[in-house]
Structure 1
Amino acid sequence: MVASEFSPKKVSESSQESSRRSAREIIPLLLELILPHSVVDVGCGTGIWLSVFKEFGIEDCLGIDGDYIDTENLQISLTEFLSFDLQKPLQINRKFDLVISLEFAQNFPIDCAKLFIDSLTNLGDVILFSAAIPSQGGTYSLNEQWPDYWVQHFQKNGYVVIDYLRKKIWNHENVEPCYAQNLLLFVNYNCIEKYPSLHREFKNNSISQLAIVHPQIYLKSFSIAEKKLQSINLSSFISLIPKKLVEQAPSVVPTIREIRQQLAEFLLTIPTESIESIYLSSVGKAHQMLLDSGIKGEQLIEAEQQFVDSLVANIARGFDEPRAIQYLLVAMLYRQAYHLPLTYDFTRVPLWFLKEYLNFILYYPGYFQEIKEVEQYYHHIQKLVNYVNVSLFNNQNSKFWQNVASFVVKSINVTPLYFSTENLRVIFTKGAELAELVLTAKDYKIDYTFPERPANLKKIRLGVLKNHFLPHPETYNTLPVFEYLDRDKFEIILYVIEVHDHPLEQYCQSRADRLTKLPNDTHSQVQIIRADNLDILFIATTFLGSLVLHRLARIQTTYFVSPATTGTRNIDYYISGNLTEPLEAQAHYREQLVTINGTGFCFDFTKEVDAPTIQLNRQILGIPDESVVFISGASFFKIIPELRVTWAKIMAAVPKAVLVLYPFSPIWDTQYSKQFLYSNITTFFAKYGIEKNRLILLDIQGRSNVKECLKLGDIYLDSYPYSGATTTVEALEVGLPSVVMEGNALRSRTAAALLRELQMPDLIANSEEAYVQLAIALAQDSNLRQQKSAEIKQKMQQPPRFMDSRSYSKQMESLFQELCRQKFNSGK
């Protein structure tokens, strides 16, 4: 809460009287040093201090405060009060003999501190000032600081500090402890000789110990903390709130917000030296439950945003800030790590907090809410990986850094990086190097020298590495790699982690010499594959972790199942297509890029046996017959905020359009925040005047059901910057005109490559504006849609190379032979 929300009506009469008593004791001491004829009080409240100055004969008084002050309660005349927003620069064309501002500066966000001090120093040369210190407490405190902080701000304006009053009032029973603790004088150094008494005190001044805590305030802070802790009712809270409660029961959001605020205030109130013991109690459990509740997925309300802004400013000071851990604990309740200006200095994180801190900085909530959030995540992970990589490299024998790096490698989620437009080569290479350092420290033998290949071997021994061969896009586009290889020229070994005896798995096994189930531990997996003395290992999955860091075959390759470079030193080649890769594509890969003609990937759905189990039509979904239906099967995760805005622009330009999404594919995940996606998209839609009922979310499983769903559509909208492959192929299979955008890397070019293969480049956009205009043009011209649909259906019947498994196998056969020829200098 900021100062402008403060209401003096909430201040009790006893509090006002204690301020009056304090003023009556302090002002006479002040008059021994300076005899002012005019006084201005900035943050005057109802003007109590000014009314006491009047008692001492000083009539020229001005009080300044916000428009929240009830002028009926003023202790000064209305003509002596100026209403002003003090978060803005204050300019008054006069100077005052004395400026006072008492227990007020802490109520502003930290980024207003300089502006506020500038306003004070513009008003006069002598300033009586006090502001709350850390943990002093206060409902509206946003920037509690030790006195040295304010001294530095005043010094920048040429003011010196005089600590004269505190020693005289420290134990005075009529003086409030906050004044006894915080009251300081600041004087313009260029004018100090005009005030002999002030000049004398300045010469005798000692400022070596400005940061002091009054005993009564110290005891009060514990009392406040205990009351706040009791009010939160932690035991009840912990026992009642399950994970993701906010998603399951949106009606509890206001209650969870209130509990979060209470816990935040409590954490900022407790003394720093007590934070460890308190966090390791039920407070830490409550903190974790709030993190798990899903409340961070809710948009911050205005007061929360202002509160978080003040936290961010304190966090930016890093671990030099005395209450850094408290600020972090509170910020964790409101924002993700990639929203905060974190200091990557793990050695300064207390060990009792280190695991929770690492979990926090590595956490990805499963979706992005705000524009440019993807890039924030990218830069956050980039800095993190660089920092841990360098730290472990420079401290390879350190158990601390080995443990930290191991935790990071195990927990980091790189999938969201695919939604970025950045070149991922450097960050993925650094990540792979970090993983190698971790394995090396654990005595893994990453490198391996194979015996010389016998010259009389007639067959190339090819291994294909996957998790499983169940029905899955990875299986359908891995099968063509080996399905029709010449068995007189190739010996094929399939390696899997899981065996299911599924008909598709059985068919895949029939197209190879054998299928080997690997054990679960990496050491054994490495030994088994190396023992097979492979010529080539084709890595057909991204989910095998540390195994693919090893040298397992003489030649190791991968392809578009990894949407970007693996960054791995021991993967030699990345296989792609000349229609998919841009110019200068090698800059995106650590591997050597090799391309074949076409898209570089192929699907074989001919072994698919499932039939549709759903019946859908427009009437069932309540879609009017005259509506244009945009449809997309882009994954939940690919629908980033920028894409939501683009789709909103399209929908706004086509008033009768409906958008149908089926984004909940089990390929990506098994649990989705469905309510979040609906709420977030409709929020974007509302900004463009689009009604909620024009968005339909469906949960469709299975390719046959997906194609039934696609028949509802008029136009397919591909995702960007991470485009579709399987989902776009499915749209093309039913003849849907597809709007795609082409980017600068493979992951943003797969759908465009499909259309280029069909020789339909007019459906490819190269910018958001072109994407929107293309979608609108198709929506407004039914003849154009029909023409494009007929053209797609005709070309998909041929079939195109990306659906021709036999042709693709022959391309891969030639490529494998060429790679072996280069490696072994033979004709095989």
Structure 2
Amino acid sequence: MPIRAKLIDCLNSRLIEDLQLYQTALSTFGIVAHAVGTSQITAIRKSRSNVARMLFEYLSPAKANEVKGDPPQNAAPDSETICRTTFMAQPHFRIWLGYPVLERDEADKALIDTCLKSLTTAEGVTVFRDIAVLTMYLSPHELPLLSPAQIAKMPRYELGFYLGILLNRPVLLTEEDEVQYGKFTPDLIDWICELLEDPQIAPIQKSLLDLVQKINLGEYYVAEIDAPPLLEKRKKMIGLIRRLDPTLRKIPPYQPPARANDPTRKIRVGFLARTLKKGPDSESLYALFRDFDTDRFEIYAYTIDHFDRVVKADKAFDEAFDKVLSGRRLLRYVQGTAHIVDKLRSDELDIFILANSTHFGVGTADLLISHRVAPIQISSNTVNPLPTSVGAFDHFLTSSCPDTSDEIAYSDIMEPPIFLDPTSICYPFGLGKETRTVLDRATIGLRDDDVMFYNGSSVDRLRAPCLRAYMRAVAQVPNGKLVLAPFNSGWSGNLHSNIFWERLRRVAAEEGFSLEDIVITNELTLAEARNLVQICDVYLTTWPHGGATTVTLALDKAKPVVVTKRVSSRSIDQFLVGSVGLNELVAKDEDDFIRIAADLGRSAETRTAIGDRLSNYDGKMPFFDVDNYSTRFQQLLLDVWDRN
């Protein structure tokens, strides 16, 4: 078969078959998940390497001349065919298959080196060749940033392919990867801003404007990276896009509505949430406003109607929420930023609260919140791990640390904090009570005398330092077992399995920790997830992005929860644990986390004592006390209103 036909067939069929077989293998696991078999990983790796070599051979100038009989620069039509193949058109497929973490032989390494060196001077189709090959091996943050001259000569489909991968979330296996990504991303934003204003790019500026808005900076939520420098550069890029985009330029500056001059008016509050369907986030929002004085306030809810496994339609909840609201509004991002800004402003809000973090980058959601729609704007830390830092918000709603010496430097985040204490999150209906056991220890291969340490965070939050600390703590406990549930469908499901297992294997090898003492669960139902908390002995949190729902669930089920001292606004679990008087479970650092967890694992007496304190807690736990919660929040808004 000619190389062109073979290459296109592989990109349309062979690699897709690899993905389908991989997904099929994952679906065969029961409650307990396993890594995909070695033979299947080897087959995926061989397919990857073979296709990379075919891409290099076919797109090399000599081969282009041989096949087409044309000069190398006229080989571009074949790059379009390649870009439009099933595999190349979906940047996330290579991440799902775990390409960046697969083993590389000497031929792979030599090919990578050749392409990296070539890109320093490459032109025309050779640029696409080198990029296409490198994307088969490297994480997005490891790809080179092309020169303006190289970008200017790329057809839109090549540019779309390159940016589609470059702007995607990276694969971060190690702490060193996080350091590299922390350096790469500010450089990436500077590079984008320079490109957008470079005269060489003028003919394709509109295409570039559309493409760069797909940038995904979500890894900043979970990685141990200094956020303020990135937030400042993101603000700069949003400002540049607003200035260059002709539609955004037409959005007028904010003007207070005429009703602002009426001192007798009700205070009109609007909040933007991902959904109003029953679930942890929407229940907490309901709790915020449940007891507001309707003679003084009007509450409007805006939603993008984002749906996932943790929310569900519930008529009784809808009716309860409607009693609180003066109106609901459904926003469609496809309508564009200008339309949505106009729609929000037309409601003449006095206070706007952002409680949605479905995207972090410079897309429609981010451009939207960079425009002021009310005189007072507040971002809520209960949903947003980081402040917006886009220049349109006046306050960052969060909770203060029980120990003031632990407080983070809010001067770095551009938005002055306002504190809702003792906790800025509340679940008015509790978190559900399981009256049936859908799984027990035997189901996941544990004995009754095993000491079960559990974490239910997503694969993205289970960073190498967290896994290392867990293993070091469990290793000190007789019969200690580590149980993790990283693959729930409300996040990325089990599609990042290869990447997670490689991270887990590397940390375990470094620590000399047996994988036999780790249980990884597959995708769970909500009932199964609750049961895992019920049967564990100690709940371990992640950092810097701590848990909220799972932490409160563990405390509700009278389980000791080990957390780390708050190091950024992403850590919201410290004040949850502190709010019920368990400050002794707040670790100062990783070593302290290991000590506290290991001590709990070795002492059933200590675990029982903490369980008794939680079971016999005097009154409602603060994160279930909706009566005080709503009243405190109303007073907080009145204080902010009076100051402004």
In the superposition, the TM-score normalised over structure 1's length comes to 0.65
Partner of 2:15: 241
- For 1:578 and 1:634, how far apart are their aligned partners in 2? 23
> How far apart are residue 427 of structure 1 and its match?
2.1
Counterpart AA for 1:447 = P
Of 20, 40, 54, 1:263 maps to: 54
How far 1:478 sits from its partner (Å)?
Answer: 1.5
Following the alignment from structure 2 to structure 1, what is the Cα–Cα distance between the partners of residues 112 and 331? 51
Report the Cα distance in structure 2 between the residues aligned to 1:268 and 1:527, rounded to whole angstroms: 48
Q: 2:28 maps to what in 1? A: none
The alpha carbon displacement at 1:268 in A equals: 7.3
Letter of the 2:209 partner, please give it.
A
What corresponds to 1:450 in structure 2?
256
CA positional deviation for 1:261:
4.8
Kindly provide the amino acid, as one letter, of the partner of residue 211 in structure 2: F
Q: In the TM superposition, what is the alpha-carbon distance from 1:635 to its structure 2 partner?
A: 1.5
* Cα deviation digits, residues 750-784 of structure 1 (max 9, x gap): 11111222222221112222212222121122212
Question: In structure 1, what is the equivalent of residue 67 of structure 2?
Answer: none
Q: In structure 2, which of residues 328, 331, 334 is the aligned counterpart of residue 515 of structure 1?
A: 328
Deviations 1:523-546 (A, max 9, x none): 443333222211111121123443
SS at match of 1:471: coil
Closer/same/farther in 2, CA of residues 407 and 321 from structure 1, 3 Å limit: closer
Is 1:649 aligned with 2:481? no
Distance 1:368 1:724 in 2: 20
Secondary structure of 2:161's counterpart equals helix
Pairing 1:361–2:166 present = yes
- 1:281-292 to 2 correspondences below 5 Å: 281=81, 285=85, 288=88, 292=93
Q: Tell me how far apart the structure 2 counterparts of residues 286 and 497 of structure 1 sit (CA, whole Å).
A: 29
Secondary structure of the 1:354 match is helix
Structure 1 residue 236 displacement after superposition: 5.6
Cα 1:240–1:328, aligned 2, differ >3 Å: closer, same or farther? Answer: closer
**Counterpart of 2:79?**
279
CA RMSD of aligned residues (A): 3.3
* Separation in structure 1 between the aligned mates of residue 426 and residue 374 of structure 2, nearest angstrom: 26
Deviation of 1:469 after TM superposition, in Å, equals 0.9
The corresponding residue for 2:290 is 483
Partner of 1:163: none
Unaligned runs of 5+ residues in structure 2 are: 26-35, 63-71, 307-312, 359-364
Instruction: Name the residue aligned to 2:225.
Output: 422
The structure with higher relative contact order (CA 8 Å, sep 6+) is: 2
Change (3 A) 1:588 1:559: farther
Asked whether the 8 Å contact 1:575–1:593 carries over to 2, the reply is yes
1:188-337 matches, cutoff 5 A = 232=6, 234-235=8-9, 238-242=12-16, 244-245=19-20, 247-248=22-23, 251=40, 252-263=43-54, 265-266=56-57, 269-271=60-62, 273=73, 276-281=76-81, 285=85, 288=88, 292-293=93-94, 294=97, 296-303=99-106, 306-307=109-110, 310-311=113-114, 314=117, 317=120, 324-337=127-140
**3-state SS of paired residue (1:443):** helix
Match of 1:812 among 633, 637, 641: 633
Q: Could you tell me how far apart the structure 2 residues matched to 1:699 and 1:621 are?
A: 10
Query: Alpha-carbon deviation of 1:632?
Result: 0.7
Contact 1:564–1:588, Cα closer than 8 Å, also in 2: no
Instruction: Please state whether the residue corresponding to 2:230 is helix, strand or coil.
Output: helix
CA contact (8 A) 1:402 1:438 kept: no
Superposed displacement of residue 651, structure 1? 3.4
- 1:735 maps to a residue whose letter is A
The separation in 1 between residues aligned to 2:295 and 2:83, in whole angstroms, is 68
Identify the residue that residue 529 of structure 1 maps to in structure 2.
344
Q: 1:285 to 1:390 in 2, by over 3 A?
A: same
1:378 is displaced (CA, Å) by 3.1
Q: Which has the larger radius of gyration?
A: 1
1: CA distance, partners of 2:75 / 2:462: 40
Deviating more after overlay: 783-792 vs 540-549? 540-549
How far does residue 302 in structure 1 lie from its aligned partner after superposition? 4.2
TM-score (ref. length: structure 2): 0.82
- Cα pair distance change 1:712/1:584, threshold 3 Å: closer
Query: C-alpha offsets along residues 140-162 of structure 1, whole Å, 9 cap, x if unaligned?
Result: xxxxxxxxxxxxxxxxxxxxxxx
1:624 aligns to what SS in structure 2?
Answer: coil
Separation in structure 2 between the aligned mates of residue 287 and residue 774 of structure 1, nearest angstrom: 47
The count of corresponding residues between Structure 1 and Structure 2 is: 592
Match of 1:618 in 2: 441
Q: What are the superposed Cα offsets for residues 375-423 of structure 1, whole Å, 9 maximum, x if unpaired?
A: 32333222112222344367799463343133212x1112111123333
| Structure-1 separation of matches of 2:10 and 2:129 | 23
* Paired amino acid for 1:559: S
**Partner amino acid for 2:220?**
L
Distance 1:743 1:584, change over 3 A: closer
- Residues 534 and 553 of structure 1 are in contact (CA less than 8 Å); yes or no, is this contact kept in structure 2? yes
Distance 2:529 2:86 in 1: 42
Q: How does 1:367-516 map to 2 (within 5 A)?
A: 368-392=172-196, 398=202, 400-409=204-213, 411-440=214-243, 441-444=245-248, 445=251, 447-451=253-257, 453-498=260-305, 502-516=315-329
Following superposition, the deviation at residue 811 of structure 1 comes to 1.8
- 8 Å CA contact 1:241, 1:289 repeated in 2: no
After TM superposition, the structure 1 stretch with the greater mean CA deviation from structure 2, 733-742 or 580-589, is 580-589
Helix, strand or coil: the match of 1:638?
A: coil
Deviation digits for residues 611-639 of structure 1, max 9, x if unmatched? Answer: 56652221222212221111011122101
Q: Distance in 1 between matches of 2:144 and 2:202?
A: 27
Structure 2: distance between partners of 1:296 and 1:290? 14
AA matched with 1:734: K
Task: Give the whole-Å Cα distance in 2 for the aligned partners of 1:253 and 1:798.
Answer: 56
Partner Cα distance (1:700, 1:235) in 2: 33
Residues 609/634 of structure 1: CA separation in 2 closer, same or farther (3 Å cut): closer
Displacement of 1:669 in angstroms is: 3.8
Work out which of the residue numbers 579, 585, 595 in structure 2 matches 1:757. 579
Q: Specify the alignment match of 1:222 in structure 2.
A: none
Query: Which residue does the alignment assign to 1:717?
Result: 540
Mark the CA change 1:730 to 1:312 in structure 2 (over 3 Å): closer, same or farther.
farther
**Deviates further, 386-395 or 548-557:** 386-395
Q: CA deviation at 1:816?
A: 1.2
Distance 1:405 1:428, change over 3 A: farther
Aligned mates of 2:271, 2:223 — CA distance in 1: 29
Q: Distance in 1 between matches of 2:564 and 2:121?
A: 41
Q: State the 1:274 CA deviation.
A: 6.0
Distance 2:100 2:233 in 1: 30
Q: 1:110-165: per-residue Cα shift (whole Å, max 9, x none)? A: xxxxxxxxxxxxxxxxxxxxxxxxxxxxxxxxxxxxxxxxxxxxxxxxxxxxxxxx
* Residue aligning to 2:392: 570
Q: Name the aligned partner's letter for residue 388 of structure 1.
A: I
1:265-286 C-alpha deviation (Å, 9 max, x unpaired): 5157543646534433459748
Q: Secondary structure at the match of 2:172?
A: coil
Report if aligned partners of 1:633, 1:727 keep a CA contact under 8 Å in 2.
Answer: yes
Which residue is 1:120 aligned to? none
Determine which of 610, 622, 636 is the counterpart of 1:801. 622
Sort the Cα spacing of 1:735 and 1:501 in 2 relative to 1 into closer, same or farther, 3 A.
closer
Matches of 1:538 and 1:363 in 2, distance apart? 28
Say whether the 8 Å CA contact 1:423–1:588 is kept in structure 2.
no
- Per the alignment, residue 776 of structure 1 pairs with 598
Instruction: Name the CA distance, whole Å, in 2 between partners of 1:426 and 1:283.
Output: 34
**Is residue 589 of structure 2 the alignment partner of residue 785 of structure 1?**
no
Kindly, what percent of the aligned residue pairs are identical? 19
Question: 1:236/1:539 Cα in 2 relative to 1: closer, same or farther (>3 Å)?
Answer: closer
In structure 1, the residue matched to 2:553 is 730
Report if aligned partners of 2:269, 2:298 keep a CA contact under 8 Å in 1: yes
CA offset digits 1:350-370 (Å, max 9, x no partner): 2252111111211226x5333
Moved more, 616-625 or 293-302: 293-302
- Report the residue type matching 2:476 in the other structure: A
One-letter code of the match for 1:472?
Answer: G
Alpha-carbon distance between aligned partners in 2 of 1:592 and 1:447, rounded to the nearest angstrom: 23
Say if 2:431 and 2:553, in contact at 8 Å, map to a contact too: no
Q: Indicate if the aligned counterparts of 1:740 and 1:763 stay in contact, CA closer than 8 A.
A: yes
